[in-house]
Chain A
Amino acid sequence: MKKIEVKNLSKIFGPHPERAIELLEKGKGKDEIFAETRLSVGVDRAGFDVDEGEIVVVMGLSGSGKSTLVRCINRLIEPTAGQVFVDGVEVTALDAKGLRELRLAKMGMVFQNFALFPHRTVLANAEYGLEIKGMDPAERRDRAMRSLDQVGLAGWEDSLPSQLSGGMQQRVGLARALALDPDILLMDEAFSALDPLIRRDMQDELISLQGKVKKTILFISHDLDEALKLGDRIVLMKDGAIVQVGSPEDILTSPANDYVERFVAEVDITKVLTAESVMKKSETVGFLGHDGPRAALRKMKQHGISTLFVLDAQHRLAGLVASEDCAELIGRGERDLAPIVRTDIPCVAPDTPATDLFLTMSGNSCPLAVVDEGGRLKGVVVKGSLLGAIAERGRTQE
């Protein structure tokens, strides 16, 4: 279901912005328009939507209009033209009161420089939205405490923001937004001000938090690594206009134009990276003739996986068993894994370029086996880890 719809949205800064809209329609660019009219194009006829429960990352260089775009969605900035819908309600048509109610009910926002109120304690910051909503103090405190707990800040509620590290301050920012339990989180470069290590932690935590709370998240970033890691889809912006919308794989493997390509080039280690360099060591394997279905199932449970690679007596890859097949086997009282081993699984050689891995993996939900010439299992490549590895390598190679 569509949670946020943005249609033909433009924002022009300056007096009499209609002039610039006309010029945009005539196909003029941001620089030309500025030269001609002194008007600054913030967003140029942007259109995209965000599905419920999805993380969409809006990415682009500094000045490409990301902050303006996200602020047009909750109308902290008044769009010049176009429409925004949230749950089918036209946000751009709401009056001041309706807008305030919508912000409180559905949209939490997290800011680049945290925007914590320095005179309020951590708890009072987390309570802010609830206080505006008019919730009674006891309940408010309760909910704020719960959301502080959610972001790992239990015990810090009486501190002042200035006593906290950057990462912790942003957790307060996140807790403040979560306390309202909004459907949508707008996060404007929420992690950009943090140290790289802390940033990575926060990204991981956002992903795991998202697994629990299932919000619709519009995340702004100028960092492709971050976009690849967090985004279910990525919206790429340049000079206020959207140049490509697609999954991380789409962006990496088929950039829409030169601009995206150059962006991607920075991370384009896909060409030098091989299956071997992005694979993980397989945590556990089963052995044909040795392990029965119960043993295989236990190994899967132990490692939290749903499929298990199995090797034959010569330690060559025989195939893969799935947990549901094992369970069925146990039900039938059989002890040999051989009948349920799937052999038609995707395998790649260790020197396969990472670019090709995307192709092999798309359409397959099971992990990819990396196998040498002798048929031995060298490791596995999981979809998430592939992107993660590319992003990591990108940084260390710089």
Chain B
Amino acid sequence: MSIPRIPLGVWIETAIDFMVEHFAFATKAFSAVTESVLELLEKAMLAAPAWLLIAVFTLLAWKLSRKRGIGLFTLLGLCLIWNMGLWPATVSTIALVCIATLVAIALGVPLGIASALSQGVYRVVMPVLDVMQTMPAFVYLIPAIPFFGLGKVAAIFSTVVFAMPPAIRLTCLGIRQTPRELVECADAFGSTRWQKLVKLQLPMATPTIMAGVNQTVMLALSMVVIAAMIGAKGLGGEVWKAIQRLQMGHGFEAGIGIVIVAIILDRVLQRVGARQG
């Protein structure tokens, strides 16, 4: 006896088709806004001479991390990238990561707060996050295309989806970890829910939230590279091109560029996060 095949794939396709059709106004708006913001950011960064931008980034890394070593690494790393002729690609990647991270945090932190405060939201959000985090990254590329077509906006969309879970999860965790006695104390002193959140829970959760932000940035970077497959360009695009043309050397150069950007972001964010604690 043969068991009929469950048409899971068909259902998902139908659902996506339905959404593409009925939420076109939203996707179009998102598309238009992101595209122009991204373009603006990229153009602005490319308009400045590379040395100036490198100096700015070095200074930022140094001041934010308060570590000379990290500043020095930033300077040398970015100079190497520039020397390899990867500067425009790097700028494009940084712009993508910035925008995607901002959107992911802007959505993720409030969602994290909501799921920390409401058991109902928590019960819905957490299983969804579990699925999101176990799904292979490539899968997110697929729905992005029907909504936004090939290109940078689709890349940002899938990056946001991929990078958001840690922001939600760690915000929620940080707030829930506020010691019971402190919450009780805030209650005993007549605090409203909002006062409790602002005066106690968010400050207490800041180090954890920062750890989430750090992870979100790193995931965004890794996804932006993968999203080169749907037209994100940037450093990932260079790797993708190199793969298709079997240019091993160039591929590795771009890979090193990605590693340098990743190390700079990670170190700086870690130091900033540690200071919050």
Residues of A within 8 A of B (CB): 71, 74, 76, 100-101, 103-104, 107, 109, 111, 113, 115, 117-119, 128-129, 131-133, 176, 180, 186
B204–A76 CB distance below 8 A: no
Q: Tell me if B191 is interfacial: C-beta within 8 Å of chain A.
A: yes
Instruction: Please list 20 pairs of residues, one from A and one from B, whose beta carbons are closer than 8 Å in the complex, sorted by A's number.
Output: A100-B190, A100-B192, A103-B188, A103-B190, A104-B190, A109-B188, A109-B189, A111-B181, A111-B184, A115-B179, A115-B181, A115-B184, A115-B185, A117-B204, A128-B189, A131-B199, A132-B190, A132-B199, A133-B190, A176-B189
CA gap between A109 and B204 in the complex, in Å = 21
Please report which residues of chain B, range 176-217, place their CB below 8 angstroms from some CB of chain A when the two chains form the complex: 179, 181-182, 184-192, 195, 199-200, 203-204
Q: Find chain B residues with CB under 8 A from A115 CB.
A: 179, 181-182, 184-185
Q: Most chain-A CB neighbours within 10 Å: which of B181, B190, B200?
A: B190
Cβ-defined partner of B200 (8 Å) among A76, A103, A117, A133? A117
Q: Is the interface of B mostly helix, strand, loop or mixed?
A: helix
> Once bound together, how far apart are the Cα atoms of A109 and B184, in whole Å?
10
Contact with A along B244-256 (1 / 0, CB 8 A): 0000000000000
A-B contact count (CB 8 A): 52
- Given the complex, which residues of B lie within 8 Å of A131, measured CB to CB? 199
Closest chain-A Cβ to B163's Cβ sits at a distance in Å of 28
Contact of A132 among B181, B191, B203 (CB under 8 A): B191
Closest 10 CB pairs of A and B: A104-B190, A115-B185, A109-B188, A100-B190, A103-B190, A129-B189, A115-B181, A119-B203, A132-B191, A132-B190
CA distance A319 to B200 in the complex (A): 63
How many Å lie between the Cα of A133 and that of B188 in the bound state?
12
- Contact between chains at A111 and B192 (CB < 8 Å): no
Q: A282 to B200, alpha carbons, bound, how many Å?
A: 54
Nearest CB in chain B to that of A101: its residue: B190
Rounded to whole Å, the gap between the CB of A133 and the closest CB of chain B is: 7
How many residues on B have C-beta within 8 angstroms of the other chain's C-beta atoms? 17
How far, in angstroms, from A200 to B116 measured CA to CA in the complex? 41
Q: Identify which of B182, B187, B192, B195 contacts A76 (C-beta below 8 A).
A: B187
The listed residue with most B CB atoms (<10 A of its CB), out of A74, A107, A115, A129, is A115
> Do residues B188 and A76 form an inter-chain contact, with CB atoms below 8 A?
yes
B189 contacts which of A104, A113, A119 (Cβ < 8 Å)?
Answer: A104
B182 touches A129 (CB 8 A): no
Q: Determine if A74 and B182 form an interchain contact, defined as CB atoms under 8 angstroms apart.
A: no
Which residues from B are CB-within-8-Å of A117? 182, 185, 199-200, 203-204
User: Does B188 lie within 8 Å of A132, measured CB to CB?
Assistant: no
Known: A115-B181, A119-B204; 7 extra A-B contacts, CB below 8 A, are A76-B187, A107-B188, A109-B189, A111-B184, A115-B179, A128-B189, A128-B199
Interface residues of B in 29-86 (CB under 8 A from A): none
Residues of A within 8 A of B190 (CB): 100-101, 103-104, 129, 132-133
Q: How far is the CB of B238 from chain A (nearest CB, A)?
A: 44
User: In the complex, which residue of chain B has the Cβ closest to the Cβ of A99?
Assistant: B190
Residue of B184, B186, B188 ringed by the most chain A CB atoms within 10 A:
B188
- Docked pose: A332 CA to B12 CA in angstroms: 109
- Bound Cα distance A113, B179 (Å): 11
Chain A residues with Cβ below 8 Å from B186 are 128
Query: Is the CB–CB distance between B195 and A109 below 8 Å?
Result: no
| Shortest distance between the CB of B151 and any CB in chain A (Å) | 44
Cα–Cα distance between A101 and B190 once the two chains are bound (Å): 7
Q: CA A295 – CA B75 in complex, angstroms?
A: 88
**Minimum CB–CB distance for B56 against chain A, Å:** 32
Q: Given that A119-B203, A131-B199 are contacting pairs, would A109 and B185 also be in contact in the complex, using a CB cutoff of 8 Å?
A: yes
Complex CA–CA separation, A132 to B191 (angstroms): 6
Q: Mark B158-184, 1 if CB is under 8 A from A, else 0.
A: 000000000000000000000101101
Across-interface contacts of A107 in B (CB, < 8 A) = 188
B contact residues around A101 at 8 Å (CB): 190
Min C-beta distance of A71 to chain B, whole Å: 8
Instruction: Give every chain B residue within 8 A of A186 (Cβ-Cβ).
Output: 188
Question: Cα distance A132–B203 when bound, in Å?
Answer: 16
Smallest Cβ distance from B21 to chain A, in angstroms? 45
With both chains docked as a complex, state the minimum distance between the C-beta of A240 and any C-beta of chain B, in angstroms.
Answer: 20
Q: B203: shortest Cβ distance to chain A, in Å?
A: 5
CA distance A115 to B182 in the complex (A): 5
> Within the assembled complex, what's the spacing in Å between the Cα atoms of A103 and B187?
9
Contacts of B181 in A (CB 8 A): 111, 113, 115
Distance between A114 CB and nearest chain B CB, rounded to angstroms:
9
Determine the chain A residues whose CB is within 8 A of the CB of B199 once the complex forms: 117, 128, 131-132
Bound together, the chains give a CA A133 to CA B191 distance in angstroms of 9
Given A119-B203, A132-B195, A76-B184 contact (CB < 8 Å): yes
Q: In the assembly, what is the distance between CA of A101 and CA of B191, in Å? A: 9
B residues less than 8 Å from A76 (CB atoms) = 184, 187-188
A171 to chain B, nearest CB (A): 16
Q: How far is the CA of A294 from the CA of B190 in the complex (A)?
A: 56
Cα A132 to Cα B185 in complex, Å, equals 12
Q: How many Å from the CB of B122 to the closest CB on chain A?
A: 20
